[in-house]
Amino acid sequence: MIKEFKEFILRGNVLDLAVGVIIGTAFTGLVTSLVNNIFNPFIGLFTSSGALAHMEFTIGKAKFSYGAFLNDVINFIIVAFVLFLIIKTINKLFPTKKEENEIKEEKINEELQTLREIRDLLKANEQIK
């Protein structure tokens, strides 16, 4: 059982996943810093609270920190957009097997169509004689 676990852990996919999680965590920290230290003060110039994260309102005894929520939304949008760009770039650099098969199939279909046209022309030419 320990041998199987060792093989599982050392398999490429698990190591790739671990590296991805570590890099993703570091990237999320970077984006959080960007939002907190660059975007929030900039937005704070246009609001009375001075920073997005400190924007809140109170109803009765309940305090709603909508600025912190907006902070998290901005973080999410930045991370999602960067991941979208990364995935899009990877898909362009490394086409999937399905895309490769579709390209081959298109080529075969094009060749087949050309052969059919030649056949039809030959048949038409025989009928003229």
Q: Is the pTM of this model over 0.85?
A: no
32 CB neighbour count, 10 Å cutoff? 16
The topology (CATH level 3) of 2-94 is 1.10.1200
> Domain spans of the chain?
2-94, 98-129
Tell me the C-alpha distance between 125 and 119, whole Å. Answer: 10
pLDDT in tens for each of the 129 residues of the chain?
A: 888 877 776 666 766 777 788 888 888 888 888 888 888 778 777 776 667 777 888 898 988 888 888 888 888 888 888 888 888 888 788 776 676 667 667 777 788 888 888 888 888 877 766
pLDDT per residue as tens digits for the range 7-17: 776 666 766 77
Sign of CA dihedral 75, 21, 82, 87: negative
